[in-house]
């Protein structure tokens, strides 16, 4: 990096610095401030003055200190070695920093994001020298982990004639593995790329979000499905289970790559993530979950500017793997802390505040972030996706605050966490009254093909029952349950069964923590069979007491624990026993 002096410090206001004498600088340029070389970024230019946000502690900086320009924007390094690494908000490798410093990150520390000395086994593609290559074309592959085949691609802004392609062998990420001729200039290419974090990586085409991201969580997959390439917000107050819901999705969803961004969360919570993730076992391979995960840790006591940059860092890494044809899930925990960082920086820059002190451009920034999700045809013709699952932490659980409200405008799926459910130890505490999914019509054909043709109607019937339960519970509060006829009390009984036997899920139980598509459909079918046959039995005179005392009902309640995903025959036997029991009851009243 060729640094040159572009100006001097004029004023220091926390992480915001006013610079004077600025020359030969550009907007969003990466700079180094002072002799300690603190990392910063130019966010405003006016005449010969500039506003710089610094991503480190500015203690001891003083007016007159030099500012060094890099001539390039704040960027991330892309290449083999990203998977399994823990970074901070501006992609500094935390584990390597720990090896050379104390338990605190020293200011001005500069380490490469990717290992320069490690050699990777490069296998060239079948493309021949002299052929025309375009942006995104695959030049070769590297086995990054057991599960991830890393594709070495032509950078998005380069195309031309392939002059040289290295033979199979061991190379570092900086060694030249190809040369492309463009406008009579030879451009050397290595495995290492750089990309500005605030610039979306290009794709050839956006595809409709018609394939669901299967999470194994029944309340999500069956009631409020998320499509691959979709966006979802998980708002909830303190202790309602946002982080645990994201952990469950990260472990069990069918995305090939996970990017987990701890944005402004408490230090002890991020410590749990950093210590637990390496020990989590990927259920599909039996290997460590870190073999398909990138962690970005930016705790609440780290510099506020780095928190603002962290989600852009994470989504840029996700787009890079999407371009290889992978489905990537981004966990942003939490976007509220990111919005608070925007508010603090905006206040220090003395900008006009909008609602609750947030900057007027908050909705624009939220939209820019979530718009980077999508199911795409990549430049190389592959299909890949970036799904964004953003946690929101509204103060006091108030969903009417600005971050939650603006986020709802730009996401198509909303999993609202309910304090009462969490207090009752009903997890996941996703409210079936406040939540919704606009991907339902898009993914219904997939579900009908893979789960059964009745999936859409069965789900709609169950949701309608839950809505009826709400209205009946309002009556019960006034007159008590005994005033209701058996037909209405049976609605309450079936909804209670559905909530306990289907929606509630135990993340610590070996059988219940993940439900396959087939198991979810079988469980829903059994509960709806009980409802349909039961209401017919009530009409024929069978009492609710008799229906509730059926012995098979205890097995229905326990089926989520007792029947594994692979044992479809056990579900068929259970539904046959249920129907026999209902037949016997009805025969008495015929």
Q: What is the CATH number of the domain that holds 167?
A: 2.40.50.100
Q: What is the predicted pLDDT for the residue at 103? A: 67
**Residue 332 class from Cβ within 10 Å (0-12 exposed, 13-18 middle, 19+ buried)?**
buried
> pLDDT digit string (tens) for 159-189?
999 999 999 999 999 999 999 998 889 999 9
Q: Are residues 134 and 249 in the same domain?
A: no
Q: What is the predicted pLDDT for the residue at 276? A: 74
Work out how many domains the chain is built from and give that number. 4
Grade residue 279 by pLDDT with cuts at 50, 70 and 90. confident
Containing H/E element for 187? Answer: strand 185-189
Residue where a domain stops, chosen among 191, 218, 253? 191
> For position 320, which CATH number holds?
3.40.50.300
Q: State both tokens at 421.
A: 């459910």
What residues have CB less than 8 Å from 560, skipping those under 6 apart?
501, 502, 505, 506, 511, 512, 515, 523
Which range is least confidently modeled, 58-67, 99-108, 311-320, 521-530? 99-108
157 in a structural domain: yes
| Of residues 10, 16, 21, the one with CA closest to residue 38 | 16
> With 60 as the cut, is the pLDDT of residue 122 above it?
yes
> pLDDT digit string (tens) for 483-501?
899 999 999 999 999 999 9
Q: Are residues 461 and 380 in the same domain?
A: no
Q: Are residues 408 and 357 in the same domain?
A: yes
Q: Are residues 503 and 582 in the same domain?
A: yes
Please report how the helices 486-498 and 552-562 are oriented relative to each other, as an axis angle in degrees rounded to 10: 20
Q: Are residues 172 and 253 in the same domain?
A: no
410 in a structural domain: yes
Q: Is the link from the previous residue into 153 a cis peptide, with omega within 30 of 0? A: no
Q: State both tokens at 59.
A: 């203690």
> With 90 as the cut, is the pLDDT of residue 263 above it?
no
Q: Are residues 167 and 290 in the same domain?
A: no
Grade residue 9 by pLDDT with cuts at 50, 70 and 90. very high
Its pTM stands at 0.94
Each residue of 76-100: b (16+ CB within 10 Å) or e?
A: bbbbbbbbbbbbbbbbbbbebbeee
Which range is least confidently modeled, 153-157, 221-225, 319-323, 384-388? 153-157
> For position 32, which CATH number holds?
2.40.30.20
> For position 560, which CATH number holds?
1.10.1140.10
Q: Are residues 481 and 405 in the same domain?
A: no
User: Between 5 and 303, whose confidence is greater?
Assistant: 5
> With 90 as the cut, is the pLDDT of residue 282 above it?
no
Bridge-partner residues for 39, per DSSP? 32
- To the nearest whole percent, how much of the chain has pLDDT over 90? 76
> With 60 as the cut, is the pLDDT of residue 590 above it?
no
Each residue of 494-530: b (16+ CB within 10 Å) or e?
A: bbebbbebbbbbebeeebbbbbbbebbbbbbbbbbbb
Q: What is the predicted pLDDT for the residue at 239? A: 85
Q: What is the predicted pLDDT for the residue at 118? A: 95
Q: What is the predicted pLDDT for the residue at 1? A: 55
Alpha carbons within 13 A on the beta-carbon side of 13: 16
Residue range(s) defining the domain that contains residue 143: 115-191
196 in a structural domain: no
CB-CB contact of 30 with 41 (8 Å)? yes
Q: What is the predicted pLDDT for the residue at 589? A: 62
95 in a structural domain: no
102 in a structural domain: no
Q: What is the predicted pLDDT for the residue at 108? A: 79
Write down the mean pLDDT value for the chain: 92
Each residue of 138-162: b (16+ CB within 10 Å) or e?
A: bbbbbebbeebebbbbbebebbbeb
463 in a structural domain: yes
Tell me what the mean pLDDT of segment 365-390 comes to.
96
Residue where a domain stops, chosen among 42, 73, 104? 73
Residue where a domain stops, chosen among 191, 217, 239? 191
Q: Are residues 250 and 380 in the same domain?
A: yes
Q: What is the predicted pLDDT for the residue at 106? A: 78
Q: Are residues 425 and 380 in the same domain?
A: yes
Grade residue 32 by pLDDT with cuts at 50, 70 and 90. very high
* Strands 86-87 vs 293-298: parallel, antiparallel or unpaired: parallel
Q: Are residues 183 and 234 in the same domain?
A: no
Q: Are residues 41 and 64 in the same domain?
A: yes
88 in a structural domain: no
Containing H/E element for 235? Answer: strand 231-235
Q: Are residues 158 and 232 in the same domain?
A: no
Bridge-partner residues for 333, per DSSP? 262
80 in a structural domain: no
Query: Using CA atoms in the order 515, 287, 77, 127, what is the torsion angle rounded to 10 degrees?
Result: -90
């Amino acid at each position: 990096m060729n640094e040159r002096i572009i100006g001097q410090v004029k004023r220091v206001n926390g992480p915001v610095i006013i610079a004077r004498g600025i020359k030969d600088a550009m907007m969003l340029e990466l700079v180094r401030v002072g002799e300690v070389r603190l990392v910063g970024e130019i966010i405003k230019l006016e005449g010969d003055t500039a506003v710089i946000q610094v991503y480190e502690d500015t203690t001891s900086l003083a007016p007159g200190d030099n500012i060094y320009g890099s001539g390039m924007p704040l960027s991330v390094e892309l290449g083999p070695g990203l998977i399994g690494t823990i970074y901070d908000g501006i992609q500094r490798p935390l584990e390597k920093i720990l090896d050379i410093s104390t338990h605190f990150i020293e200011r001005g520390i500069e380490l490469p994001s990717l290992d320069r000395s490690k050699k990777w086994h490069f296998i060239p593609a079948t493309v021949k020298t002299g052929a025309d290559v375009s942006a995104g074309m695959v030049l070769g592959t590297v086995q990054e982990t057991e599960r991830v085949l890393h594709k070495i691609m032509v950078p998005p802004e380069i195309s031309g004639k392939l002059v040289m392609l290295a033979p199979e062998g061991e190379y570092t990420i900086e060694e030249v593995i190809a040369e492309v001729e463009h406008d009579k200039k030879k451009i050397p290419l290595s495995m290492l790329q750089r990309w500005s974090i605030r610039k979306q990586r290009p794709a050839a085409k956006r595809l409709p979000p018609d394939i669901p991201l299967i999470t194994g969580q029944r309340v999500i997959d069956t009631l409020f499905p998320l499509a691959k390439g979709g966006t979802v917000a998980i708002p909830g107050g303190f202790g309602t289970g946002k982080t645990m819901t994201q952990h469950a999705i990260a472990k069990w969803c069918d995305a090939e790559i996970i990017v987990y961004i701890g944005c402004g969360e408490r230090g002890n919570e991020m410590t749990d993530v950093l210590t637990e993730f390496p020990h989590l076992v990927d259920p599909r391979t039996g290997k460590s979950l870190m073999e398909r995960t990138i962690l970005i840790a930016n705790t609440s006591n780290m510099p506020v500017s780095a928190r603002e940059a962290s989600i852009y860092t994470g989504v840029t890494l996700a787009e890079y793997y999407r371009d290889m044809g992978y489905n990537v899930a981004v966990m942003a925990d939490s976007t509220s802390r990111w919005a608070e960082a925007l508010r603090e920086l905006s206040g220090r820059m003395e900008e006009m505040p909008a609602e609750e002190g947030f900057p007027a451009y908050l909705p624009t920034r939220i939209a820019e972030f979530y718009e980077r999700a999508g199911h795409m045809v990549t430049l190389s013709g592959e299909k890949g996706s970036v799904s964004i699952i953003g946690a929101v932490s509204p103060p006091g659980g108030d969903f009417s605050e600005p971050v939650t409200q603006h986020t709802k405008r730009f996401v198509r799926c909303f999993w609202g966490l309910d304090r009462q459910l969490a207090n009752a130890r009903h997890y996941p505490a996703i409210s079936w009254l406040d939540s919704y999914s606009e991907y339902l019509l898009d993914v219904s054909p997939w579900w009908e093909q893979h789960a059964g043709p009745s999936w859409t109607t069965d789900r709609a019937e169950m949701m309608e029952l839950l809505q009826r339960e709400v209205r009946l519970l309002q009556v019960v509060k006034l007159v008590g349950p005994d005033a209701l006829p058996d037909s209405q009390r049976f609605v309450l009984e079936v909804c209670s069964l559905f909530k306990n036997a289907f929606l509630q899920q135990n993340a610590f139980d070996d059988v219940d923590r993940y439900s396959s598509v087939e198991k979810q459909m079988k469980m829903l079918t059994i509960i709806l069979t009980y409802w349909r046959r039961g209401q017919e039995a009530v009409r024929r005179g069978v009492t609710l007491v008799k229906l509730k005392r059926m012995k098979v009902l205890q097995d229905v309640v326990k089926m989520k624990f007792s029947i594994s995903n692979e044992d479809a025959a056990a579900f068929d036997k259970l539904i046959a026993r249920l129907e026999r029991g209902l037949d016997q009851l009805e025969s008495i009243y015929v």
